[in-house]
């Protein structure tokens, strides 16, 4: 599918299923996303039989295999009924869910997961597989949540911090474009975090606010140039909790797109505090655009 010059191609959609209710809802949401993109959908069931071969009997492995293939058939049939023109393929993987989904996504695919799985901790807002998929991703990941929170709003929300979030804003613009929706670019800054420990700097709040608005305006101007037909709204807010403002804003969006900053202070794949909070508590699906930030003191 041809996109706006300079905009990212959204790529194919890969969804993980596990037999849970959230997994099924994620599959249907992923099918709708693939239809909007005019791209293929791949449904993946990862049985992890290779990792359990030493302590599962051949009969047990065969039952897992049969159940997995049946789940794939049922899911594909339900999607074909609702989206008859969509190109759908299925994959039964003997490996673990997280590497299987990352591998299936390749270099450009978008991985879609539900907000809960079949694990024993039903009170958790995001299953361990979904969290690990998001934390270790090198391609976009969408955690499907908030589908029961209300009707479609016609708005795609992008969390913007500075010019480093241009690519995130581009993805959000493409998502808004295919939905025929508007784009809201939201910058939230914590006054105490911005002022640091020097109390005297609080006297210069207006200058600090102006600097933040400058970053937001620069991103918005670039997006408007690249997507001239798109309605783009910008908002800057200050708050004691960045995550709280974004969670509340997600009530009024069909999709929240944000960059996946990773703190340089951690070893291995990690998610920033704000990103982690949104994946657990947002009121709409969250698309994470992964990127590595080096030498940046703030994480999101």
Q: At 55, which helix (H) or strand (E)?
A: none
pLDDT of residue 124: 38
More confident residue, 296 or 253: 253
More confident residue, 114 or 273: 114
Mean pLDDT across the stretch 133-148?
89
Strands lying side by side in the sheet with 286-290: 88-93, 41-46, 13-16, 110-114, 141-144, 286-290, 255-260, 155-159, 182-189, 232-238
Give the global pTM. 0.86
In the numeric block, the tokens 């670039």 are attached to 222
CA distance 294 to 264: 6
Please, what is the average pLDDT of the chain?
A: 84
More confident residue, 128 or 59: 59
Closest to 142 measured CA to CA, from 285, 292, 300: 285
Mean pLDDT across the stretch 23-49?
96
- pLDDT of 120 > 50? The answer is no
Exposure on the CB side of residue 296, measured as CA atoms within 13 A: 16
Mean pLDDT across the stretch 171-200?
79
pLDDT of residue 54: 79
- pLDDT of 200 > 50? The answer is no
pLDDT of residue 206: 58
Exposure on the CB side of residue 230, measured as CA atoms within 13 A: 33
Number of helices (H), then strands (E), in the chain: 10, 10
52-79 as b/e: b if 16+ CB within 10 A: eeeeeeeeebeebeeebeebbeebbeeb
Tens of pLDDT, residues 60-105: 889 999 999 999 999 999 999 999 999 999 999 999 999 999 999 9
- pLDDT of 3 > 60? The answer is no
Q: At 161, which helix (H) or strand (E)?
A: none
More confident residue, 237 or 54: 237
More confident residue, 124 or 127: 127
81: number of Cβ within 10 Å: 8
């Amino acid at each position: 599918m041809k996109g706006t010059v300079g905009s990212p191609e959204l790529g194919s959609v890969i969804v993980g299923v596990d037999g849970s209710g959230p997994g099924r809802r994620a599959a249907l949401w992923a099918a709708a996303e693939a239809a909007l993109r005019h791209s293929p959908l791949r449904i993946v069931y990862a049985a992890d039989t290779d990792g359990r071969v030493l302590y599962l009997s051949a009969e047990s492995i065969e039952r897992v295999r049969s159940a997995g293939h049946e789940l794939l058939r049922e899911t594909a049939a339900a999607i074909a009924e609702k989206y008859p023109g969509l190109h759908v393929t299925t994959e039964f993987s003997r490996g673990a869910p997280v590497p299987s989904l990352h591998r299936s996504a390749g270099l450009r695919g978008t991985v879609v997961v539900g907000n809960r799985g079949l694990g024993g901790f039903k009170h958790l807002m995001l299953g361990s597989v979904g969290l690990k998929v998001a934390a270790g991703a090198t391609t976009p990941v969408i955690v499907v949540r908030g589908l029961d929170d209300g009707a479609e709003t016609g708005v795609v929300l992008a969390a913007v911090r500075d010019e480093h979030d241009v690519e995130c804003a581009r993805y959000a613009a493409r998502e808004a474009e295919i939905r025929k929706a508007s784009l809201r670019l939201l910058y939230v800054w914590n006054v105490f975090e911005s002022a640091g420990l020097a109390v005297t700097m609080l006297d210069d709040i207006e200058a600090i606010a102006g600097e933040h608005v400058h970053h937001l305006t620069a991103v918005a101007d670039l997006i408007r140039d690249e997507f001239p037909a798109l309605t783009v709204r910008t908002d800057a807010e200050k708050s004691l909790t960045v995550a709280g403002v974004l969670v509340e804003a997600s009530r009024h969006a069909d999709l929240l797109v944000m960059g996946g900053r990773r703190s340089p202070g951690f070893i291995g794949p990690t998610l920033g505090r704000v990103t982690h909070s949104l994946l657990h508590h947002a009121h709409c699906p969250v698309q994470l655009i992964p990127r590595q930030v080096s030498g940046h003191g703030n994480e999101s």
